[in-house]
Structure 1
Amino acid sequence: MEVYGSLVQQTLGDRVEPFSRPTQLLTSQEVIDALYAGVHDNAISNYMAFYSSELGGIVTDPALMVVSADDHMVHRGHAVFDTATLTQGYLYQLDDHLDRFYRSASKAALTPPFPRNQIRRIILETAAATKSFEGNMRYWLGAGRGSFGISPLECLQTSFYCVAYKSAESPDPSIGWKVKTSPVPIKDPYFATLKSTNYLANALVALDAQLEGFDQGVFVDSEGYVAEGPVMNIGIITHEGEMVVPPFEQTLAGVTLQRLLHLVREVLDSGGTDVLGFIKKVSQRPFKLEEAKQAKEAFMVGSSTVVMPVIQWDNTEFLQTKPTPEVGIIALSLRALLEEDMDPTANRGQHVEVPYGFLTNA
């Protein structure tokens, strides 16, 4: 190999950098071997099952969870996705997530390759193939394979993928998050309200915050109105007891947030105060960065986040010190309300049972 490399170096001359290696032309078997050799520890530990419409079924080997390079989802970002939580053997709010998935697909001019009942069945049976009662189900609808051009009309058929993976260890809600106003420009409303695979701006928001020592970043528009985090919604509690979240005009309509708003309104309508305590009113209206930093509390909401108190926003701290420090006590009450709803034994009509036994003999 060293002799061959030397000959290539002499032949190509200045067209290659010194000490570079020749590029291998792989056989089919070498490709398979490389897939197995390249599986990283996170995949082995956490990727449980994968469905591909291109394969026509489910695999549980992480080495085989691959997507074609000429799928427009890969090289053009023309795809939508959504995620449902697997908890105690049930999928939480699956149909609400599917509703949003189909709205996103319509806005992205994508038609699923199968009817909705088949898509739903694939998700449930991919969950069943894991033999696990906990995790996440993420699924994608891509424009499909067929070319490296720009137009999806060149694609053969839309593609559908679904992966079951273990949930990351949840951050401690009693510690809370520090968030940073992001310099990354906010998305155009059309794309901000569409859950596509183009998450470059979101990734840069998270990266900018973490490099500065914060936990999360926050999109704020050019007029100073707060929008959302990189993968979660955000809200505040005013000193007057108003719970406020931004309207879904330039933010993604969070399924978990919508459920939380419904639950809080239920409690308020029933006259209950034990769970929520301080909250007297729920509003969905625009609010500026200044109002957020002057609020009594701020919090973030998402399917994996549930509810996370914000303890610091830029240089503004949200620490209550009477009589002892309490981190986001109202936000933690909201979290408890949502966690109760996420428990399938509560039987609130938000869960779909996974059909264990399918392909598993469980």
Structure 2
Amino acid sequence: MDRIVYVNGDYVPETEAKVSVFDRGFLMADAVYEVTSVIDGKLIDFAGHAVRLERSMKELDMPEAISMDDLLAVHRELIARNDLVEGMIYLQVTRGAPSDRDFVFPDPEETKPTVVLFTQAKSLVETPAAEKGLKIISIDDIRWGRRDIKTVQLLYPSMGKMMAKAAGADDAWMVEDGFVTEGTSNNAYIVKDGKIITRHLGNEILHGITRAAVLRFAREAQMVVEERSFTMEEAKEADEAFVTSASTFVMPVVSVDGVSLGDGLPGPVAKRLREIYIEESRKVAV
């Protein structure tokens, strides 16, 4: 059965889904996106993703593409039409498809945004990676300065994942001015003497929706959280580490730049936070 996707108000088989060659998402990476996880056929942290989408569009001066109520309805319809029990829904909004290519933004009265959503079936709760942990390398962060806007400018993060693969690792943490910013598709954390350390919010990193939930749960569990920059040297000396994202929840890290952390196995803080996040998210999923 063909996967059913959403394109500008229509639900169509993926083989029939089309957007214009003049779409600015295709030509200029002039687009934003969100990924919302699905567990038990319900959406995790949907409200947070919807608010961040709205913020990203405002930061890029994009007109509203779809109301949040309608967006929720589309997500639920895609879950139903694709019988999605566990996985993700990818959402992308572009500035639209003007009549020709131009660096200047098109008139929003004449060019409406393009809205595309599709499902991805994937095991998120039970995954081998969570049992063995990730191996991380460090790479220079050479991205643009507004990483707090969730744009589709993902070429360098993709290159970073390929650099990690070539080095026999699972992912990369990006480093700028001597400090870790974030992972290629996740927020980064270390744990030292029971304290969770992660970079403070700013334009340098994505304001992760999963990050916000995990830090809230950590504080509610009486864990100590310190939001500040940290170096790779600190990471190498950490007791454990982990990353968070919508598609991985809390994922333990067992080595950084070839240095094993702790006993080389997923640490207790990461494991407990993963349990809490999944348990609490299930309670409020929509």
TM-score, L = length of structure 1:
0.73
C-alpha separation between the residues in 1 aligned to 2:93 and 2:278? 29
Partners of 1:48 and 1:166 within 8 A in 2 = no
Secondary structure of 1:208's partner?
Answer: helix
* Structure 2 counterpart of 1:188, one-letter code: W
Q: CA–CA distance in 2 between the matches of 1:312 and 1:114?
A: 42
Aligned equivalent of 1:290: 233
Residue 76 (structure 2) aligns with: 124
Of the three residues 161, 181, 186, the one matched with 2:138 is 181
RMSD: 1.8
1:71 counterpart (23, 27, 49): 23
Structure with greater Cα Rg: 1
Mapped to 2, the partners of 1:263 and 1:208 lie a distance apart of 33
Report the CA distance between 1:294 and its aligned residue.
1.0
Deviates more, 1:128-137 or 1:202-211: 128-137
Match of 2:65 among 100, 110, 113: 113
Hey, what does 1:256 align to over in structure 2? Answer: 210
Q: Does 1:237 align with 2:180?
A: no
CA displacement, residues 163-217 of structure 1 (integer Å, 9 cap, x when unaligned): 112126734312111100013x342332x11100111111111111111111001
Say which SS state the counterpart of residue 175 (structure 2) adopts.
coil
Aligned counterparts of 1:137 and 1:228: Cα–Cα separation in 2:
23
In structure 2, the CA distance between the partners of 1:338 and 1:156, relative to structure 1 (3 Å rule), is same
Judge which range, 331-340 or 146-155, deviates more.
146-155
The residue number in structure 2 matching 1:58 is: 11
Shift in CA distance, 109/229, structure 1 to aligned 2, threshold 3 Å: same
The share of aligned pairs that are identical, in percent, is 24
Helix, strand or coil: the match of 2:219? helix
Q: Assess if the C-alpha contact under 8 Å between 2:132 and 2:265 holds in 1.
A: no
Letter in 1 for 2:102: G
**Alignment partner, residue 52 of structure 2:** 100
Post-superposition Cα deviations, 1:268-309, rounded to whole Å, max 9, x if no partner, equal 1xxxxxxxxxxx411111112211211111111111111121
The answer to whether 1:163 aligns with 2:118 is yes
Q: Map 1:273-352 onto structure 2 (within 5 A).
A: 280-320=223-263, 326-343=265-282, 347=283, 350-352=284-286
Identify, as 1 or 2, the structure richer in strand.
2
* Partner of residue 150 from structure 2, selected from 195, 213, 226: 195
CA distance in 2, matches of 1:319, 1:93: 31
Query: Using the alignment, how far apart are the partners of 1:204 and 1:186 within structure 2?
Result: 11
Match of 1:208 among 163, 176, 194: 163
CA distance, structure 1, for counterparts of residue 128 and residue 103 of structure 2: 40
Q: Residue type of the partner of 2:115?
A: F
CA deviation after TM superposition for structure 1 residue 66, in Å:
2.9
Instruction: Name the residue aligned to 2:179.
Output: 225
8 Å Cα contact 1:219/1:227 also seen in 2: yes
Q: Is the 8 A contact 1:49 1:126 kept in 2?
A: yes
What runs of 5+ residues in structure 2 fail to find an aligned partner? none
Shift of 1:93: 0.9
Q: Which residue of 2 aligns with 1:21?
A: none
Query: Structure 1 pair 326/210, CA: closer, same or farther in 2 (3 Å)?
Result: closer
Q: Is 2:86–2:123's contact at 8 Å kept on the other side of the alignment?
A: no
Structure 1: runs of 5+ lacking an equivalent: 1-43, 269-279, 353-362
